[in-house]
């Protein structure tokens, strides 16, 4: 796949691990930026995570070059400084102060490169919590998202790293805004995005609900929906979600499923009345849906304008016919195996955004990066032989 490259020529140095920081680089790479990922000697430990972390590295590190540096050595640190001095953007998501202790704080980097946009992805923006270590799950628990996701009294994290990924997206927004401002001022700036404040933004709708109504929002499994029919319905085989979100769709729904008695009840013609009558309406509807298969229900609903959804699983998405139209791209892993993983969900000029389709082995691009920085071959080999720079041969 080849797609639009609006950020072609933008050079990014990335000091990241896990999900939040790598997400920033992956999106920028998909938009055409050149990403040099700085890893410790031997490679980022995220590469070797198991269990639910096994997909972090391949998902968020496509389209990047890799150089391994020993940042505890003067030579390795010097290479990092040269990279930063030659970059448009730096992205980092390590513990507060980690890069500062190496002399790679924003002020020092900006002194060497005034045009640098320095993006820090942190747990918290400035305040009492800013020195705490945060993870996606910590932010979900603190910020109310886990409370809203699970049943009452049973907080439950969302089923994906939604805060890491969304926090990374906010970082990209900040970088793009800073690049635009740099066009006018000629100067870069520091951009900071955070897990906790990202969570608060996402639960803001529930905060606003409380501000408007004076009633705390109930967790999603116990909420009073804004619509009478906005539920998962059992069928003869697989469950299906159906939503009836307008009065016109209520009429259509009743006619599709032969609910003549409900449509004849004029007291149910308006949405709020139907919400009040949910306990009467749903017992009439569920048995009708339950006599059908999921495919029969979907066939009846498809093309009607009624919202519906089969209950998909992540592994089902590999064979989804819609995603086959450009929503997945071939990715080759370090061991030579391949899979189809999600593309960046954007289209520009009627073309899907794509990124390079290989995952770089740790240090694969060391010599190329050193050459780009102007190091001659002899100096590069000395750095590699000393262990300051790791290279995969």
Q: Which two tokens stand for residue 382?
A: 């000395």
In the residue annotation, 164 being an active-site residue is answered as yes
Helices (runs of H) and strands (runs of E) counted in the chain = 16, 14
Q: Which two tokens stand for residue 123?
A: 């747990």
Strands (DSSP E) found in the chain: 11-15, 34-39, 64-69, 89-92, 117-122, 190-194, 229-233, 240-244, 308-310, 328-332, 338-342, 347-348, 351-352, 389-390
DSSP 3-state of 68: strand
Active-site residue, from 164, 276, 279, 365: 164
φ/ψ of 136, rounded to 5, equals: -50, -50
The partner residues of 316 in beta bridges, in order of sequence, read none
Q: d(Cα 339, Cα 358) in Å, to the nearest integer?
A: 11
Q: Which two tokens stand for residue 228?
A: 């009478």
Start-to-end C-alpha separation, the chain: 28
Closest to 369 in 3D by CA, of 350, 349, 383? 383
Q: Which residues contact 309 (CB under 8 A, 6 or more apart)?
A: 240, 241
Q: d(Cα 274, Cα 376) in Å, to the nearest integer?
A: 75
Walk across the sheet containing 229-233 and list its strands.
229-233, 240-244, 308-310
DSSP classification of residue 358: B
Hey, which residues are catalytic here?
A: 164
């Amino acid at each position: 796949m080849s797609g639009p490259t609006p950020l072609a020529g933008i050079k990014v140095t990335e000091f990241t691990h896990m999900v939040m920081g790598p997400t920033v680089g992956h999106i920028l790479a998909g938009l055409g930026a050149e990403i040099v990922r700085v890893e410790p000697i031997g490679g980022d430990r995220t590469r070797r995570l198991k269990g639910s972390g096994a997909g972090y590295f391949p998902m968020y590190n496509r389209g990047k070059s890799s150089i391994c540096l020993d940042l505890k050595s003067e030579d390795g640190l010097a290479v990092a400084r040269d990279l930063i001095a030659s970059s448009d953007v730096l992205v980092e998501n390590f513990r507060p102060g980690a890069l500062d202790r190496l002399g790679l704080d924003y002020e020092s980097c900006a002194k060497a490169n005034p045009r640098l946009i320095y993006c820090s992805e942190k747990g918290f923006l400035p305040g009492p919590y800013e020195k705490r270590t945060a993870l996606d799950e910590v932010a979900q628990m603190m910020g109310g998202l886990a409370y809203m996701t699970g049943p009452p009294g049973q907080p439950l994290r969302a089923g994906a790293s939604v805060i890491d990924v969304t926090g990374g997206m906010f970082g990209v927004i900040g970088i793009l805004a800073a690049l635009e401002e740099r066009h006018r001022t000629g100067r870069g700036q520091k951009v900071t995005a955070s897990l906790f404040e990202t969570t608060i933004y996402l639960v803001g709708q529930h905060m606003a609900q409380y501000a408007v109504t004076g009633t705390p929002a109930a967790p999603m499994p116990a909420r009073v929906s804004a619509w009478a029919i906005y539920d998962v319905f059992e069928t003869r085989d697989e469950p299906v979600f159906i939503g009836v979100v307008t009065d016109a769709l209520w009429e259509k729904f009743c006619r599709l499923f032969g609910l003549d008695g409900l449509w004849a009840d004029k007291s149910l013609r308006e949405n709020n009345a139907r919400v009040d009558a949910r306990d009467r309406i749903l017992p009439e509807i569920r048995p009708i849906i339950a006599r059908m298969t999921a495919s029969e229900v979907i066939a009846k609903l498809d093309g009607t304008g009624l919202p519906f959804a089969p209950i998909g699983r992540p592994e089902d998405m590999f064979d989804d016919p819609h995603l086959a139209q450009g929503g997945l791209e071939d990715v080759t892993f370090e061991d030579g195996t391949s899979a189809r993983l999600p593309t960046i969900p954007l289209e520009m000029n009627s073309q899907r955004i794509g990124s390079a389709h290989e995952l770089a082995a740790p240090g694969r691009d060391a010599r190329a990066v050193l050459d780009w920085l102007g190091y001659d071959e002899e100096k590069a080999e000395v750095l590699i032989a000393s262990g300051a720079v790791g290279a995969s041969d």
